[in-house]
Amino acid sequence: MLPSLVYWRAQRGFTQERLAERLGMHRNTLWGIEAGHPAFMRTARLLASALHVQVADLQRSPPES
């Protein structure tokens, strides 16, 4: 699970569609991961790299606003 994915995506100004397009994945795949479906480690690494964070940052609970 990547509970902070939505937080970091929003912090970096990406829409689901734009981030998915940048990574060459379907928006529905990204939507599923954000909804709590598991992600392969390779996918988690790609997401972390695109968002300029560590995979561990995506795995933590999002920071309090």
Structure confidence by residue, pLDDT tens digits, 25-55: 999 999 999 999 999 999 999 999 999 999 9
Q: In the structure encoding, which two tokens stand for residue 57, read together? A: 């940052």
CATH superfamily of the 5-58 domain: lambda repressor-like DNA-binding domains (1.10.260.40)
The mean-pLDDT minimum among 9-13, 22-26, 49-53, 61-65 falls in 61-65
Q: Where are the domains of the chain?
A: 5-58
Contact 5/58 with Cβ under 8 angstroms?
yes
Residue 64 CB coordination number (10 Å): 4
Single pTM value for the model? 0.91
